[in-house]
Structure 1
Amino acid sequence: MADRDKDAEGGAGDELTPEARAAILRLLDEIRTLRDALAASNRRIAYLETVADEDPLTPAVNRRAFLRELERAAAVSERYNLPNSVVYIDIDGFKAVNDRFGHAAGDEVLTAVARTLVDNVRASDIVGRLGGDEFGVILARADAEQAAEKADILTALIAAIRIEREGVPVPFSATAGVFTMDPGTGAADALAAADRAMYERKAARQREKG
């Protein structure tokens, strides 16, 4: 009996006062508010990161985001001895498109090219607009042969795009250069090598035309 009375007294002493209960409720409300604010902040950060990576005109990522992903690809090649390739694509005849059909037509060409590239690579690959009429594609775990084959497919798809202005076809095509990264190859060197390969191929075509 004495023990029960003691337990009862202890239980009564453990009960919260109205002031303490109100303080706890206020604290819980503050925690919920902070949690909601943190979630909103995280959503905002994720949105800003996405916007910061987007090219303002096309569905490709911008140059900054592309170079960041190329650095990661170079690190993977270095660490795991895996091939990663970069394709450098230049739109042929783009200046003539702007001069003859106007910049709106040029923007349509850029958007169509970027959409074609994005729609015809794997989810693990990255398409970026490097500036003006130049695009890059990072082909994850693609060796030199696979990358060259993919580059030919992509340029053929670009050549097949049909855009018209008042019933007149807008002519353009694309030239691609490919470089496959070896362990130790930096991102900047890989991109520069792909760029050189693209210009060499463009020059070879000009020589063939005479």
Structure 2
Amino acid sequence: MATDLNDTSQAFIALQQENQSLKNKVVELEAEIRRLHALAGNAELPSILSRPEFIREVARMMAHDQRYGATSTMLSLSFGGLDDSMKTLGAYDFDKVVTSLADTLAHSVRSCDIVGRTGIEDFGIFLTRCKESDAHIKAGLLIAKLKERLEPLLKGKVALSLRHAVRTLQDKADLEKIRR
């Protein structure tokens, strides 16, 4: 009888230890999940505006331009292959690429210009008081700078095609094209 009691208490102690070990493992896994969520799928880029914020600010600046007779230009950048690169690079490296791209765009324009993400692979820059000819020059400089910054991050695994379009926005119909 004493042996059965001793065996039962040892089994109980072993179960308590295993229970504590599993609780510790759960805490570790929850921390890892939080860390991975912070790294991957980070939809917000602090250095640039989201699509709704971007459209709101562009509409505000267009109203200002119409009121005071100024001309501003929209520079659209499209990064073909950006969405597919997540599969190739992995979430962590992909987020580094997108963050670097956003930071480069945000820090390569004037403080009065508006930078935002307009789609999965698309970014927009509203260049205030800028003619189309100057916007084309700015686009060339930006693309060169982006290629220089992104090449080391892409590690030769992904080839992005960078395309740009420039247009002067005149009225609300032009803004509706951006909204789509």
TM range (shorter): 0.5 to 0.7
Query: Structure 2: how far apart are the matches of 1:85 and 1:190?
Result: 12
Give 3-state SS (helix, strand or coil) of 1:179's partner: strand
1:70 to 50, 55, 58: 58
1:174 to 135, 140, 162: 162
* Pair member with larger Rg: 1
**Matched residue, 1:97:** 85
**Matched residue, 1:134:** 122
Query: Structure 1: how far apart are the matches of 2:153 and 2:137?
Result: 29
Deviations 1:6-45 (A, max 9, x none): xxxxxxxxxxxxxxxxxxxxxxxxxxxxxxxxxxxxxxxx
Query: Structure 1: how far apart are the matches of 2:54 and 2:110?
Result: 16
Q: Which has the higher contact order (CA 8 A, sep 6+)?
A: 2
Give 3-state SS (helix, strand or coil) of 2:130's partner: coil
Deviation at 1:129, TM superposition (A): 1.3
C-alpha spacing 1:173/1:191, structure 2 compared with 1 (3 Å) = farther
C-alpha spacing 1:191/1:157, structure 2 compared with 1 (3 Å) = farther
Is residue 137 of structure 2 the alignment partner of residue 149 of structure 1?
yes
Would you say how many aligned residue pairs link Structure 1 and Structure 2?
137
Is residue 102 of structure 2 the alignment partner of residue 114 of structure 1?
yes
Deviation at 1:96, TM superposition (A): 3.5
Deviation at 1:58, TM superposition (A): 4.5
Q: Structure 2: which amino acid aligns with 1:192?
A: K
Give 3-state SS (helix, strand or coil) of 1:61's partner: coil
Q: Structure 1: which amino acid aligns with 2:52?
A: R
8 Å CA contact 1:57, 1:107 repeated in 2? no
User: TM-score, normalization: structure 2?
Assistant: 0.66
2:152 to 163, 167, 176: 163
What are structure 2's unaligned runs of at least 5 residues? 1-42
Deviation at 1:71, TM superposition (A): 0.5
**Matched residue, 1:192:** 177
Deviation at 1:57, TM superposition (A): 3.2
Structure 1 runs of 4+ with >4 Å offset: 167-170
Give 3-state SS (helix, strand or coil) of 2:112's partner: coil
- After superposition, the CA RMSD in angstroms is 2.5
Give 3-state SS (helix, strand or coil) of 2:118's partner: strand
8 Å CA contact 1:158, 1:174 repeated in 2? no
Deviation at 1:124, TM superposition (A): 0.6
Q: Percent identity?
A: 29
C-alpha spacing 1:64/1:164, structure 2 compared with 1 (3 Å) = closer
Query: Structure 2: how far apart are the matches of 1:80 and 1:134?
Result: 30
